[in-house]
Amino acid sequence: MSGARVGLNSLILIGSEAVRRGMAFVIYALIARALGVEEFGVFRLAGSFLVIFLVLAQFGITPMLTRRVATGREDERKLLGEIQGLKIVLGFAVFVLTAIAAALFGYRSHTFYAIVMMALAIPAEALSGTHGAFYDGKQRMEVGAIADFGRSVVLLAGVAVALWKGWGLYGIIGAYLTHYVVGWLMFETVTARFFVRAVPRFAVTAWKAYLREALPYLVIGMVWTVAFRVDMIMLSKLRDEVSVGYYGSAYTLFELLLVLPTMCTRALFPALSRAKVAGTDADMLQKAMRLFFLIGVPAGVGMAILSVPAIELVFGSEYTRSAPTLALLSSCLLLWFLTMGLSWAMTARERLNVVLRANISALIANIAANFVLIPTYDYFGAALATVISESIYICVLIVPVHREIMPITPRLAHPGVFLSALIMGGAVWWGRAWPLYAVIPLGIVVYAAGAWITGAAREPFIVATARSIIKRKTA
């Protein structure tokens, strides 16, 4: 798989996810303004439980399925049907487990009911993840992107109705449940119409083989997700739902930035799996790293400078206190590009023990740092703990990647990236009092011009990616 194709898939995913996240921002803004800080904190806490326990329902099958489909050696109808049957069983079992866990945490009844209601989405979302992994393996990211957009429209409509009718937090969660179920039905329809019609199969013998193969992915995914989401749960116990509300507002905006590394590395993984067979994964990873620096540095700098107006625009002045938290997370965005990219590279080489070691190190560091920092620094301490854990993650990964795949040197980044980002930061700081719709385009234009002049945006593989996109659009 060529670097240009990886770049194209990355841009497809980034573009579609940006549209979906843009709609999610509208939704979060409406919810946060309507519910207030404390109720918004309960909503975000329920979402954190959903994300953490959904990993158990997925059981590491998503990357396993993507890798199997990418090799092109599978009976896709049989494979998809057996995994769908397994996901049904896992989904309902994990829902029960989520309810038990929420009860053991001892939350007040209002928070407990919100968590349990949100967890009802686990079976449908687990099945949707199967289809997304299948599309990734087929290198047809645009198919999943279209389905994701459709269900986002359903979510926006549902939340709008819930707010209009004054149904409160539970009505909003009901809108989320509806969009998860509709999304699963859309994925089922698209897969049956354009790829393969698969019926869930309850094949216990095959399930055992899948679970054994997927177990390392589960452990890695579970450790990574807990490390990534445990901060909100710890905030709710060491502080309260109000702190979760402030932290959730900053993290919601930061999650928009995380679309960039998440989608880029999602497109990279199946390509690296194929490139490994051809012995070209080192070259592909090197190009991906240079692209990550090109994208990640300016995005993080820009959001850090504009954290206050961004928070106030989306959530209102009630949430302005969370702006320093957003600035801290955004300024370290590049860390997420590097950790995700290098961990998927080691996963493609089937070095899951290395990835697991990095995840466990990050998890331990995150929990320990949260215990130390949250009592003193509240939600800003939670953000600082996240940055510390992500830094430890990358430190653990660098040595094996340097030894086994490619040298990790300063040459991974074009010098023009940093010079262009510095100039862009000055321009954005100068125009920070402008409306965001004016200062953001200013930053983009200044950075793009700087990257072109310095040569950072004129590297051959980047030009080849741009040409492939233009050719595809004009075909």
Cβ count near 102 (within 10 Å): 22
Least confident range of 130-139, 297-306, 431-440, 460-469: 460-469
CA separation for the pair 396, 264 (Å, rounded): 21
List of E strands, 237-369:
none
Q: Are 196 and 81 in contact (CB under 8 A)?
A: no
Which tokens in the block code for residue 222?
A: 């579970």
Report residue 108: phi and psi, to 5°: -60, 160
pLDDT at 345: 84
CA separation for the pair 181, 154 (Å, rounded): 10
Which residues are CB-neighbours of 199 under 8 A, at least 6 positions away?
81, 84
Predicted confidence band at 153 (pLDDT cuts at 50, 70, 90)?
A: confident
Residue ranges of domains in the chain: 3-414+455-470
Predicted confidence band at 1 (pLDDT cuts at 50, 70, 90)?
A: very low
Angle ∠(299,222,89) on CA atoms, nearest 5: 120
Q: Are 405 and 282 in contact (CB under 8 A)?
A: yes
Which tokens in the block code for residue 77?
A: 């109808």
Percent helix, strand, coil in the chain, to 5, is 90, 0, 10
CA separation for the pair 258, 330 (Å, rounded): 9
Residue range 92-117: average pLDDT? 94
Largest CA distance in the chain: 64
Which tokens in the block code for residue 173?
A: 């969660």
pLDDT at 418: 93
Total residue count of the chain as it appears in this document: 475
pLDDT at 331: 93
Which tokens in the block code for residue 275?
A: 């490139």
pLDDT at 473: 43
Count Cα neighbours of 283 within 13 Å in the Cβ-side half-sphere.
10
Q: Is the pLDDT of residue 419 over 90?
A: yes
pLDDT at 475: 47
Measured distance between the N- and C-terminal CA atoms of the chain, rounded to whole angstroms: 20
pLDDT at 3: 47
Q: Is the pLDDT of residue 312 over 80?
A: yes
pLDDT digits over 187-226, tens only? 888 888 888 888 888 888 888 988 888 888 888 778 878 8
Q: Is the pLDDT of residue 180 over 70?
A: yes
Predicted confidence band at 285 (pLDDT cuts at 50, 70, 90)?
A: confident
The amino acid that residue 59 corresponds to is F
Q: Are 71 and 227 in contact (CB under 8 A)?
A: no
> Nearest CA to 140 among 263, 9, 4?
9
Report residue 306: phi and psi, to 5°: -100, 20
Q: Is the pLDDT of residue 356 over 90?
A: no
Predicted confidence band at 12 (pLDDT cuts at 50, 70, 90)?
A: low
Q: Is the pLDDT of residue 469 over 50?
A: no
Q: Is the pLDDT of residue 320 over 50?
A: yes
Q: Are 274 and 70 in contact (CB under 8 A)?
A: yes
pLDDT at 267: 67
The mean of the pLDDT values for the chain is 85
pLDDT at 60: 84
Q: Are 20 and 144 in contact (CB under 8 A)?
A: no
Q: Is the pLDDT of residue 470 over 60?
A: no
CA separation for the pair 188, 47 (Å, rounded): 24
Q: Is the pLDDT of residue 93 over 50?
A: yes
pLDDT at 474: 46
CA separation for the pair 24, 40 (Å, rounded): 14
CA separation for the pair 96, 140 (Å, rounded): 34
pLDDT at 18: 66
Residue that is written with structure tokens 């039905």 in the block: 185
Angle ∠(468,471,475) on CA atoms, nearest 5: 140
